[in-house]
Amino acid sequence: MNQFVGTGVALVTPFKKDKSVDFDALERIVNYNIDKGVEYFVVLGTTGESAVLTNEEKAKVIACITKANNKRLPMVLGVGGNNTADVVTQLKTIDLSDFEAVLSVSPYYNKPSQEGIYQHFKAIAQTSPKPIILYNVPGRTASNMLPETIVRLANDFKNVIAVKEAAGDLVQAMKIIQTAPKDFLVISGDDMIALPMTLSGGAGVVSVIGQGLPEEFSEMIRLGLKGEVKKAYGLHYKVANSIDYIFEEGNPVGIKAVFHKLGLCRLDVRLPLIEASEELQHKINCFMDNL
């Protein structure tokens, strides 16, 4: 699964002033990231505001990205939720032919036990026609998928190929890297510690800021994978402030402000999120000007 080594980006869903999906802007963002060197796309994740899109809109977003990408980069589709039976049904019915894998989040809100998390992903692994990337993000799910559970799933199901690890805990990430099967990929889901995770033996990142700064961020990860520590950290500290900024008022509020500065899409998000404040826009605009 070397196609998922490097920088994947969790694509936003741009909106027009009336909050309808801006497909022209989405196409621009896809081409911008391909031209600037990212390795793969993650479609309809949290950053894509999938929680506030209708099923019809999701289908159109998938179609737009697929057409714009034109098989140039591998694609991963977000298929997850806290209703196991519903996720299984989705995996049986969604056309996954254009995707190389699915990204599935650990169940949120329900706060299952570790055994419950295992059984949830067991049902998904036994159903999915595509390889599975687990997604651990305790800040959103209110439960942490422990290294033991992740490694157990990796050992028990050959189609569980990776984890997007976004607990923000480097020690936890290192424990997974240490104990997981040799070919299992540990992918950072946290932009700020993406480089140290990569240097510790991780496979790279699924990034938010990476789609706004694709040239710098993907090169940083490539340098990390090659063990060129000094050069890699030079880029890390060059972009670090922007990572803090884009999450200051929620995701994807900040990254859309980056795209607005680049002229790629509007600031608009859907409620309950609201567009970036003037103060945040000023910070991001100054950062981009100085970069």
Instruction: Give the containing element (helix H, strand E) for 132.
Output: strand 132-136
Per the CB < 8 A criterion, the answer to whether 268 and 19 are in contact is: yes
Per the CB < 8 A criterion, the answer to whether 201 and 177 are in contact is: yes
Catalytic status, residue 118: no
User: Among 283, 278, 253, which residue's Cα sits nearest to residue 268?
Assistant: 253
User: What is the number of alpha carbons within 13 Å of residue 265 lying toward its C-beta?
Assistant: 33
Instruction: Give the containing element (helix H, strand E) for 230.
Output: helix 229-247
How far the first Cα of the chain sits from its last, in Å, is 33
Backbone angles phi, psi at 60, to 5 degrees: -70, -35
Burial (0-12, 13-18, 19+ Cβ within 10 Å), 105:
buried
CB atoms within 10 A of CB 25: 21
Query: Which SS3 state, helix, strand or coil, does residue 127 take?
Result: coil
User: Among 63, 71, 140, 141, which residue's Cα sits nearest to residue 95?
Assistant: 63
User: Among 33, 35, 42, 37, which residue's Cα sits nearest to residue 4?
Assistant: 42
CB atoms within 10 A of CB 99: 22
Annotated catalytic residue, options 36, 58, 130, 164: 164
Max intra-chain CA distance, the chain: 50
Annotated catalytic residue, options 135, 245, 256, 283: 135
Catalytic status, residue 109: no
Per the CB < 8 A criterion, the answer to whether 129 and 96 are in contact is: yes
Per the CB < 8 A criterion, the answer to whether 5 and 39 are in contact is: yes
Q: Active-site positions?
A: 135, 164
